[in-house]
Structure 1
Amino acid sequence: MERKIAAGDFSLKEKIALACRFLADEGHAMSLAGQISVRNDDGSFWTTGFAQGFADTTADNLVRVNANLDVLEGDGMANPGARFHSWIYAARPDLRAIVHTHPPHASAIAMAGERLIISHMDMAMLHDEIAYLDRWPGVPLANEEGEIISTALGGKNAILLVNHGVLGAGATLEEATFFLASIEHAARMQLLCRGAGYQPIAVDDVLAADAKAFMTKPKFIQATFDYWCRQTLRRYPEVLESSRRG
């Protein structure tokens, strides 16, 4: 399989499916909560279907919807929780992808109303990149929740949602997934440090900014995402479009 598919040689739908499976394996998909969406040039976006978990996702069972979540392509219906994605896209024309999940460690930080402390090199990509929503507006199914979340996100690419979960966004799916996965990893390290009885030591702001500039270069993010895809494809070759299997 790997000999047939070179690193990075995936369709958009395949990349979405691979991101879903990777995040499921990383503990982001205990239930059906959470969505991934990628916006097209015409304003529509690909997303996961209703009652479809990240661990079920393949390139063939995604749906393409408009801002009202009307299905334009694919079978079934969109996850209604994806409605607030439309608000973020409207507020941020620079964003093309959104990933929202309820992973255990980032959710634990969020439910306590804590802030992530950039205290390790592997957190540096998140320096000055995380917004915080300190009031849970309820299940994000209506326009009010979309407006609240998009306003709180502002110009940043990640947000911790109190009593809720986490969201990563980016100019590409690779970038959004990178930020989202990095937040969960950072939250786990912070909780481990505090659980051992220690206080995380914040990285110097200048050094953190320098490290972030390197770690958020498009080639670095792409290489990281490709690595995740290769890992995931070995475990789940069925995620590819049916015409590419075999």
Structure 2
Amino acid sequence: MITEIKFKKQICDIGKRIYDKGFVAANDGNISIRISDDQFLITPTGVSKGSLTPEMIIKVDIHGNVLDGEYRPTSEMKMHLLVYKERPDIQAVVHVHPPYATAFAIAGIPLDQALMPESVVYLGTIPIAEYGTPSTEEVPNAVKKHVREHQGVLLENHGALTWGKDLEHAYYLMESLEFTAKINWIAKQLNGDRELSKTHVNTLVEMKTKMGIAGKTPLGVETSEGIHAKKVTTTTGSALSEQDLNYIIEGVSRKVVNELKKHL
């Protein structure tokens, strides 16, 4: 019982952290912890993760039956239970909607480039789990394809999901996922998302293996000798020519001048 109280308080603490970081809005997101082989603590539906209290946390079994608690468990419970069924080693699951990661999920772009050493080693690749209607079997079925070889997924047009050896681990994986998505997006805006070479990635993979970190890893790219990274994506669409830009600027300027004349 003391352990359950401790875990409930931890869920509340992580809930406040994800809310304060803007990883969720309103009542979004859900968190769970395994407390035995077939029993779990999980957050309730319809409650802000920033306002959780220990008595709100529900105990359920592996089939989703409520064992203790006055609230209803999150409607996304099936997704959590799928992870636990497929991965007996996993002790906690976090699902939230962090802005940058969710933007990649909406765009259908996986986080699978070797852009930073830290992401290669600690996060690995984060694939896209194809879209499923929330609270249905479609979502766990989509996650199932990736859960054994990764530490998390982007849920297409939905958000992100991570799992770990304990709740702190699952949460920090989510922080890393969102940070990687943010850096990835900024690099793309600079037209400079250069991917590490296969040689350097292989060295990082050796480090990762020695550290006992699981999950698939980005492959890296072929580069010329002595070159550590290479631009691998191209900007889609055609850039505006100088003539086009001047035309737009002149048009906007004329409209502004005309509007000002009306008020003089």
Please report the TM-score for the alignment, with normalisation by the length of structure 1. Answer: 0.75
Aligned residue number for residue 15 of structure 1: 10
Cα contact 2:123–2:173 (8 A) shared by 1: no
CA change 1:125–1:54 in 2 (3 A) is farther
CA contact (8 A) 1:32 1:51 kept: yes
Please say if 1:183 is aligned against 2:203.
Answer: no
Structure 1 runs, 4 residues or longer, greater than 4 Å off: 210-217
Gaps of 5+ in 1: 1-9, 218-246
* Structure 1 range deviating more: 200-209 or 101-110: 200-209
Distance across 1 between alignment mates of 2:154 and 2:94:
12
Distance in 1 separating the partners of 2:53 and 2:207: 35
My pick for the range that moved more, 198-207 or 50-59, is: 198-207
CA RMSD of aligned residues (A): 2.3
Structure-1 residue corresponding to 2:40: 45
Deviations 1:195-235 (A, max 9, x none): 23322333631243256468877xxxxxxxxxxxxxxxxxx
Q: Comparing 85-94 with 195-204, which one deviates more in the overlay?
A: 195-204
Residue aligned with 1:138, SS: coil
Larger of the two Rg values belongs to structure: 2
CA–CA distance in structure 2, aligned partners of residues 12 and 216 of structure 1: 25
2:58 and 2:68 in contact (8 A); partners too: yes
- Please give the alpha-carbon distance, in whole angstroms, between the structure 2 residues aligned to 1:168 and 1:215: 19
Relative to the length of structure 2, the TM-score reads 0.70
Match of 1:137 among 132, 140, 156: 132
Percent identical among aligned pairs is 24
CA distance in 2, matches of 1:99, 1:24: 12
Matched, 1:199 2:193: yes
Structure 1 residues 211 and 164: alpha-carbon distance in aligned structure 2, compared to 1, 3 A threshold:
farther
The 8 Å contact of residues 120 and 201 in structure 2, kept in 1 or not, is answered as no
**How many residues align structurally?**
206
Partner secondary structure for residue 15 of structure 1:
helix
8 Å CA contact retained: 2:44, 2:74: yes
For residue 21 of structure 2, what is the aligned residue in structure 1?
26
Higher RCO, Cα 8 Å, sep 6+:
1
Unaligned runs of 5+ in 2: 214-264
Q: For residues 56 and 215 of structure 1, what CA distance do their matches in structure 2 show?
A: 36
Alignment CA distance shift 1:32-1:208 (3 Å) = farther
Question: Which of 50, 54, 61 lines up with 1:59 in the alignment?
Answer: 54
Q: Tell me the equivalent position of 1:240.
A: none
Distance between the aligned counterparts of 1:201 and 1:151, measured in 2? 26
Q: Does 1:119 align with 2:104?
A: no
